[in-house]
Amino acid sequence: MKGDHERMRGSESLITVACIQFEPRVGRKEENVAESVRLLHLAADRGARLCVMPELCNSGYLFNTRAEAFALSEEVPQGSTTQAWIEVARTRGLFIAAGIAERAGGRLYNSAVLVGPDGYVGTYRKMHLWYEEKLFFEPGDLGFPVFALPLGRVGMAICYDVWFPETMRLMAVQGADVICVPTNWVPMPAQPPDERPMAVYLCMAAAHSNAVYVAAADRVGTERGQLFLGRSVVVSPAGWPLAGPASADEPETIYADCNLAESRRMKTLNELNSIMQDRRTDFYDRTLGSRIVP
Amino acid sequence: MKGDHERMRGSESLITVACIQFEPRVGRKEENVAESVRLLHLAADRGARLCVMPELCNSGYLFNTRAEAFALSEEVPQGSTTQAWIEVARTRGLFIAAGIAERAGGRLYNSAVLVGPDGYVGTYRKMHLWYEEKLFFEPGDLGFPVFALPLGRVGMAICYDVWFPETMRLMAVQGADVICVPTNWVPMPAQPPDERPMAVYLCMAAAHSNAVYVAAADRVGTERGQLFLGRSVVVSPAGWPLAGPASADEPETIYADCNLAESRRMKTLNELNSIMQDRRTDFYDRTLGSRIVP
């Protein structure tokens, strides 16, 4: 017969994580934020505690000019978007990680903001900029922060960041239990039609290698000729999808019950292996970043 | 009309890579080496230029005692196994990356040896030891070497090494075009029966993130109660299987035509993105290895 403690396992840090996949419209910020707030309330009705929304979900993604990107950006946390999300978080007891066009003086960042019932928590600024993002945004300058929340430790990464295994590794090394990924996945060359997007496999591999939850919220739709892939997914620390991949072309919110304590238990694989302690930092430090292939 | 140069693309550094999946028997070294030599000749008959064979494929894997492991190990390159492989390489014009139980004085290593038509090239010693390997083997002390061969640049990793994204990243940073993975994959908890083994997804993600070929040769069979997974695979720099995954339980050699120059072309994704230059080494260096989660 199992003891109380044994029976409680699996609910130690149990929360419902929601990835809210929708279709922001470029330039229509008020409408996008209103839609995000409506969807956050629906997720709260379904019991979500941590909600993830797509990259640049207040502004849209494909800017034609720097002036357009600048006009759609706002300061964090003072701007109206962050304030609207804080209000939902406060009234519904949510934590929210969502993509936002951030302005700081004359600089623009492709950022993710984290807010909760007590207000603003922190910001992640995309470290690896994809393609024409480089024309308007500055590369992130805040590193890879991990935020300690009442529900567990939360990191954020945005889209192309996940192509760099360093991103999630550095958050896991700092103790992240769940990594929220606001994203705008686009088609990659050589993607076989019968496979999940490569991005989903990158999330699965990163979740498994680091024993962390990964919650990726993608957008859908076509914006100024650019197709986005949908297929939002919540991955367990074992690396397998718990919810999703969602639809490729329809708005959809996916839900997964996650015991964030599992990301800590699962770091230990057996009495001889612990994935963080097995890292060969004695050799990594000598080599990593030391040579770049042209 | 395409020019000569354009038409030659795809065959610039074209070689056939073979992953030789078979079933070594623990303790029966002479038989195992004889079988590996027989299979290498068959692969050469089929046009293979680079052959990969499983982890510890001369000795078997599940040692009961240190004495047993010691007795099955040998010095590299003087030992009879490496000499046998060099002989095949020389007569058939092959390069061979294969797992071997290496002895150096009183130390044992779970190693991979690389040999070619001109003899011994180099050794990789497994950096991340899995489970009871830690009882008998020393952790690798040679780092993550990449060997420049006439056909391209070759790195090696062994089994659990692939669980550490640093492994393939560090080889890619040093310019590896193909990473050979002698392996003995074992079942992992929570593996859904209708999915490829997580190890295959780790190879796919690493190949894609680093734009390198990954050629993993696994073993099959059950040894002293331990099941091995088979499913050897050759993955393209885009991250998709070119050959395999092979059978889960039968010996099988898989072949893929690989243009190793592609691993260099594919580092550049577009006129603004190059995966090695997009790495944020300014921040990685500050964080990586600095803190370990207990």
Distance from CA of B230 to the nearest CA of A (A): 19
Higher pLDDT, residue A168 or B281 = A168
Question: Tell me, what's the pLDDT at B190?
Answer: 86
Question: Are B173 and A288 an interchain contact pair (Cβ–Cβ within 8 Å)?
Answer: yes
Is A164–B280 a contact, with Cβ atoms under 8 angstroms apart? yes
Task: Give the one of A164, A270, A272 whose C-beta lies nearest to B279's C-beta.
Answer: A164
What local confidence, expressed as pLDDT, does residue B281 receive? Answer: 87
| Average pLDDT value for residue range B75-88 | 98
Structure tokens at B91: 């007569």
Angle between helices B80-92 and B29-45 in degrees, nearest 10? 10
Phi-psi region of A166 (alpha: psi -120 to 50; beta: other; left: phi over 0): alpha
How many other CB atoms sit within 10 Å of the CB of residue A244?
24
Inform me whether the C-beta atom of residue B186 falls under 8 Å from chain A C-beta atoms: no
Checking B220-224 for CB contacts under 8 A at 24+ apart, the result is B220/B21, B220/B22, B220/B23, B220/B247, B220/B248, B220/B249, B220/B250, B220/B251, B221/B23, B221/B249, B223/B25, B223/B26, B223/B60, B223/B61, B223/B62, B224/B26, B224/B62, B224/B64
Q: Hey, what's the torsion of the CAs at A31, A35, A41, A46, to 10 degrees?
A: 180
Q: Is A193 on the interface with B (CB under 8 A)?
A: no
pLDDT beneath 70, residues of chain A: 1-9, 285-294
Backbone angles phi, psi at B66, to 5 degrees: -65, -35
| ipTM reported for the complex, 2 dp | 0.95
Q: pLDDT grade, residue B1 (50/70/90)?
A: very low
Structural tokens at position B139: 């952790």
**A8-287 belongs to which homologous superfamily?**
Carbon-nitrogen hydrolase (3.60.110.10)
- % of chain B beyond a pLDDT of 70: 93
Model confidence, pTM: 0.95
Distance from CA of B257 to the nearest CA of A (A): 16
The hierarchical CATH code for the domain B13-287 is: 3.60.110.10
On whether any CB of chain B is under 8 Å from the CB of A190, the answer is yes
How far is it, in rounded angstroms, from Cα A42 to Cα A36? 10
| pLDDT at res. A281 | 87
Ramachandran bin of B141, using left for φ above 0, alpha for ψ from -120 to 50, beta for the remaining angles: alpha
Quote the mean pLDDT of chain B.
93
**Are the beta carbons of A278 and B240 separated by less than 8 Å?**
no
CB contact under 8 A, B165 and A163: no
Is B253 a residue whose pLDDT tops 70? yes
Task: Please write the tens of the pLDDT for every residue from B89-118.
Answer: 999 999 999 999 999 999 999 999 999 999
Q: Is residue B192 packed enough to be buried (19+ CB in 10 Å), middle (13-18) or exposed (0-12)?
A: exposed
Q: How far apart are CA B67 and CA A78, in angstroms?
A: 68
Q: What is the CA radius of gyration of chain A?
A: 19
The residue type at A95:
F
Angle (deg, nearest 10), helices A29-45 and A80-92:
10
Residues of A that are catalytic:
55, 126, 159
